[in-house]
Structure formats: structure tokens, C-alpha cells
Structure 1
Amino acid sequence: MSHATDLAAVGNAIVDVLAHCDDDFLTEHDIPKGGMMLIGAEHALTIYKAMGETTEVAGGSAANSTACLASLGGSAAFIGKVGQDRLGGVFRNSLGDIGVSFTTSPMADHTATGRCLINVTPDAERSMMTFIGAAEHVSEADIDEAQIADAAVSYFEGYLFEQPVARAAMVRACEIAKANGRKTAITLSDSGCVERQRNHFLSFIREHVDIVFANEEEAKMLADTLVFEDAPKLLNGLAPYLALTRSEKGSVVVSPDGSIEEVPAIKPEQLVDTTGAGDGYAGGFIYGFVRDLPMAQCASLGSLAASEVISHMGPRPQQPLSELARQQGLIT
């Protein structure tokens, strides 16, 4: 079935603010190394001022995925909420610069745009402090029926799934997608999200989702097992397609016929910043999926995107993924 857009993504509109730091900086500001902490507006401002030289770019899990898909030559739209402020403009312009459509209206009040303060230590570990702000206010009113109907895949961010109003918006988007013969996908985002929302995730996936993306910890949490190797078997049949990532161990993909396949990772040139690795994987995978490529090839495209993203600071590819994919023989 023909489509106007490869991907319509619904997620947190967050501006990533990235900086290098040492472990002493984390200790001084009580930032949990390798973790993600939600903070308020004043705390966010304090940390932001202390970070020094930063890079600001449209982030958030789902937006990162659209950037990687666009870099492969695909087309994408994003649905999310920003404020009427400078960072809202940064987010909108940052997506526009890579050809991703973002037409969602900003907040009508003075709620500030969300931002994720990402401090990266020399070992490439990312430590995040996130002020959600406007991002959590996505509602059914923001779901553009034409965008969803025209997209081959509608994709939902697990972080946003925790908000009941946003979850209702996702359900509405799924109904539109299914009515128009389209596919749906979700990334579980964080094992903590899965732990808190496991029953809701299971119900939503069974009823509405075609493709599930999860890393090792998220997959184990969803499958209720301590052993990753058991997760693909336990989750088999929950959704038609599963893509479970394992960092340097590659990924495991499960097809509608129940077959389980391990796909090796593509090693990065260097490991600098793991921010956005899973998001890149999802964007690359969906690019291949929309083009009816074999599951293993979709997974390799996802691994390629993740590999490029973690080779530098920031969650977006700096080299055109389309060129890298052709060099690897993954696309023609």
C-alpha cells in the first residue's frame, strides 16, 4: 500500500543539551552516573549554567529515530509538544533542518520546552537530568489524522507512554493507523518505565502494536525473566515483530512466523557517547521495514545507525547514513 511518509513519530519533544565533563562534576552536582533523573525547572537552570560549553539539538527518543531514518533517505513527521520559547524554536528548526515535518502547535501557556541535560564522561557514559516541561502535554488534539493515515508506520515513545493523556493520544493514533492499513511500533525506552507500566504496556502492545523495540533490560522486565535468552521466547507472539537490542552483542529479531534470529552488531569507529543508540537502531530498522527488507537486514540497518551515532557526541548521525549503508551493501 503506497504511503506519503515512512514514519510518523509521537514522542517527547526534548532539546538535548550535551557537554563533556569529568566524574568530579557529577559528584559535585549529585548527578547519578549513567542514570536518568527527572528535575524541576530551577534545578535544570542551575545545572545548565554549570555545564559550560554545550551543544543543543532536537532530541527525545522518537525525534532521534526520525533523524536517523531521514539520514538514510526516508521521510518522517514528528508529533510532540514544545513551549513558546527559545528552546522550542531550537527544537522546531533542528527538525526542519533535516527535513522532518513538525507542525504540532506549541503550548498556549508559558510552559517551558523540555530539555535533557546530558553530561558525558571520558568513558562515553551519559548521565542525564531531564526537565520534561511542555513535552508531557501531548494529547489527542495533537494527533494529526492525515499524518498518521499517510505514514507507513506510526511510532510511539515509551517515556511518553507513562502520561495517561498521552497514552490516550497513542491509542487514537493506533486506531487511525489500523483503519488505514498501516503499521504501528513502540520503543519501551527505559526498564523503569516497563517496571512501572508493565501491565499497561502488555495490554497496549497486544491490542495495538505491530513492532516492539526493547533493549536487554527492558525485554527481561517485560518478559518477567532474569535471563535475556528466555525473553525472545517468552515474548514471541506478543506482537508480530520484535527487535531486541544487546549493544555490542547485536540484536535478536522475532518474525510473525515465530522464527528467532540473532544479528551481529556493527562496530563503531570509536565509542564516544552512547546517547541515542537505541533510537538510531529503531530509525534504521523502520527504514528497512517500510521497504520490505528481510528482518536481519532491517536489524543491520538499525545497528549501522546506532554504530554511527555512538561514535561522536550527540544523538544524531553526523555522516549520511545512506552512504554508509551503501558502503556496507545494506541498500542499493
Structure 2
Amino acid sequence: MGAETLVNNGEAQLQLEAKAPVILGLQPLALVDHVARVDESLLDQIPGETGGSIPVEITELEHILSQLKKHIVASADDRCPMKTMAGGSVANTIRGLSSGFGVKCGMIGAYGDDEQGQLFVSNMNISGVNISRLRKKKGHTAQCVCLVDALGNRTMRPCLSNAVKVQGDELTKEDFSGSKWLVMRYGIFNLEVIQASIRIAKKEGLSISLDLASFEMVRNFREPLLQLLESGNIDLCFANEDEAKELLRGERNTDPEAALEYLSKYCRWAVVTLGPKGCIAKHGKEIVRVPAVGEINAVDATGAGDLFAGGFLYGLVKGLSLEECCKVGSCSGGSVIRSLGGEVTPENWQWMYKQMQIKGLSLPDIRN
């Protein structure tokens, strides 16, 4: 009887893993992005540093949106000078993994019972993402305005106040059971749900990926971040060059290599992206440096790091080498910056597959 029970339990676990998403994304607040290419004069009017991301109140968000029509810069490459889509760093990564790489993915979070909430759910569902772990709540869905300058750099102003979100005590083991990876983005306002997710995910055997979010987030809330990293619970960490510098603020050496060395003390995989210069990564004693994909027409940098992370995670799931993971990340990160917004167009997925072939990488088995 005992042996039969073990067999049945084993079969049940296999069935669970077959149904569960391979990669889960934790985004406590569903978020809708309003992305537009604008002239410099609008950026000069907005409080905060250009190129970063700081939260604003709804009145400020509505003011920026009301000013957009006066400042939008049209381009022959853009079918629409402004795009509205499901957004957020984790959503960008998960959507890309599902639609571009064919990886079974799901999202954990909450959305409001409003037009923006329905748009978020619809966009993720169409992209093949499992939305069964998204909670619908009465209230507003978070929004973010993403302003893109002539060089493709983006300035982001998210409005998170009064938006619905999932709380740590709402999470259950069923949210995580059977999955392999949990993808998260650092945020001080989500620290409680991040910590709760880590506790459950680790008990369920998931590996955890963390993106450092923005240089302002690292600068202003560095101590809780260091505690999170040094806990040893983060298996994979992504930082861009600016975030890496802020991470080591006050140290004698704050270059990307020093940040990589610091991150690798606590994370099994550490990656620092360097924009046009590519990336550096470390796993165990192995260190690789991979250049960016050449000849990229950078229209909008929104989602570049998110899609890089998606490509890298795809490589890990497929058992690729550290260098190959970086190469896939470089290709996928390059694909999203060729058009406006954090969602890759079908044409740019084809561009990415071609780049992967050039680099000798096997193409993903995409669903028909």
C-alpha cells in the first residue's frame, strides 16, 4: 500500500509539473504602459531625472498624458506614435518568453475592475501567458507613461498610488507548485510580497531571478536590497551599468566588474548589462563577456533589459552554456528596441531568430 501511495504521489507530482508554468512572474500590480516618442521640451517640464523611473500621483500622470499630443514626435517607422499595452518589467519578460520563445509562463498579481485591468489581462492572455494566478479586485489598475527621446532613451513615470495589488498573505503554495523559476523585480513598495513569495517559492523548490529595477530604486533603498541579495535566496540577478554603480556606492571600485564580483558571491548567476557594449556574466568561476548584437536600429530602449532577461532565462531552461545564454539575451534584448514599447512585434521576432541563427544558436520550438 505504501509503495502504491508513493507511485500515485509521484504521478500526481508529474501531472502537476506538466500543467504548471515553467516560469512564473511576480508583478504585484498589473500595469498599463502609455508609450510615446516625445520632444525634449516635455522631458524638461517633468520633475526628476531624465532617463529614470520615479513614481508620480494620478494628477501628474494625467497632466503628462494631456500634454502628449503637443509633444509627440511622429516617425515614418511608427504605425502609431503612441502605444498602450500591458507593461511592467516582469510582464515584459514573461510575455516575451511565452510569445517569442514558446516557454510555458504564468503571472502572479492583481488587476483592477477597470478598462486598464481588462487590457492587461487580454494582452497577456493573447500572448499565451497563463493568467489564472492573477486576482481581479475592485479598484484601479496601475499605469505608467513612458516617454522616449530622439536617441531611444526612455523616461518612465509610473502611477502606483491607489492601484490594486496582491498581498503577501494572499499567496498560496498552489500559486508556485510545479514551476521551476520565479521572476521578480526589486521594489521597496512590494518588499513584503516579494519576501512572502520567496519563502513559499523556496519551499516549493523554485529558483529565483531578480532584476534591480532602476538606479533610483537602488540608490534610495539600497540597504533592504543588500539584505535581500545577501540572504542567498536570489539565484540569478540582473543589473544594468547604472544600477551596478549604485549598488557599490561608497566603495573604492564601482565598475561593472566589481559589481559582478559582488553579486556572484550571493547569486549562482550574476549578469551586468552594458547597453551597446553588451554584457558580462558570471556563474561559479566562469566569467564571460558578450558583445551586443550589431547594427541595431534603436527606436526605444523600453524593455531592453526585460527581454534580455527573458532570453537569458530561456537559455537556462534549455540547458545552454553561460555564453550562449548571454547571446540569446543579446538577441532578444536587441529585438525589442527596434520598435516602440516593451512588446516585440512579429517582424522583430523574425529578426531575432535570424540573429540567433547567425550566432549558431538553435531556434526555439514555437507553438503553431
Please, what TM-score do these two structures have when normalized by structure 1? Answer: 0.90
Aligned residue in 1 for 2:236: 211
| Residue 96 in structure 1 maps to residue 137 in structure 2 | no
Aligned residue in 2 for 1:105: 135
Per the TM alignment, residue 242 of structure 1 is displaced from its structure 2 partner at its CA by 0.4
Pair 1:190–1:274, CA change in 2 (3 A): same
Amino acid at match of 2:129: V
CA contact (8 A) 1:210 1:239 kept: yes
- Single out whichever of 167-176 and 268-277 deviates more from structure 2: 167-176
Specify the structure having the higher radius of gyration (Cα): 2
Which of 113, 120, 143 lines up with 1:115 in the alignment? 143
Amino acid at match of 2:208: T
**Distance (whole Å) between structure 2 residues aligned to residue 326 and residue 249 of structure 1:** 18
Identity %: 26
Pair 1:287–1:135, CA change in 2 (3 A): farther
Unaligned 5+ runs, structure 1: none
Pair 1:23–1:243, CA change in 2 (3 A): same
**Distance (whole Å) between structure 2 residues aligned to residue 262 and residue 195 of structure 1:** 26
Per the TM alignment, residue 209 of structure 1 is displaced from its structure 2 partner at its CA by 0.9
Per the TM alignment, residue 325 of structure 1 is displaced from its structure 2 partner at its CA by 6.0
Aligned residue in 1 for 2:74: none
Aligned residue in 1 for 2:108: 79
Per the TM alignment, residue 47 of structure 1 is displaced from its structure 2 partner at its CA by 1.7
Per the TM alignment, residue 122 of structure 1 is displaced from its structure 2 partner at its CA by 2.0
Aligned residue in 2 for 1:125: 153
1:49-82 alpha-carbon deviations (Å, 9 max, x no partner)? 3223631110101001111211111121112222
Number of residues of Structure 1 aligned to a counterpart in Structure 2: 325
Q: How does 1:131-280 map to 2 (within 5 A)?
A: 131-133=159-161, 137-158=165-186, 161-163=187-189, 166-207=190-231, 208-224=233-249, 225-255=253-283, 257-267=284-294, 269-280=296-307
Aligned residue in 1 for 2:330: 303
1:76-134 alpha-carbon deviations (Å, 9 max, x no partner)? 111222221111111111111101122321233x3x21111112222212122221145
Per the TM alignment, residue 222 of structure 1 is displaced from its structure 2 partner at its CA by 2.1
Unaligned 5+ runs, structure 2: 1-13, 70-80, 364-368
Amino acid at match of 2:353: E
Pair 1:144–1:331, CA change in 2 (3 A): farther
| Residue 283 in structure 1 maps to residue 310 in structure 2 | yes
Please, what TM-score do these two structures have when normalized by structure 2? Answer: 0.81
Amino acid at match of 1:175: R
Per the TM alignment, residue 234 of structure 1 is displaced from its structure 2 partner at its CA by 3.1
Per the TM alignment, residue 215 of structure 1 is displaced from its structure 2 partner at its CA by 0.7
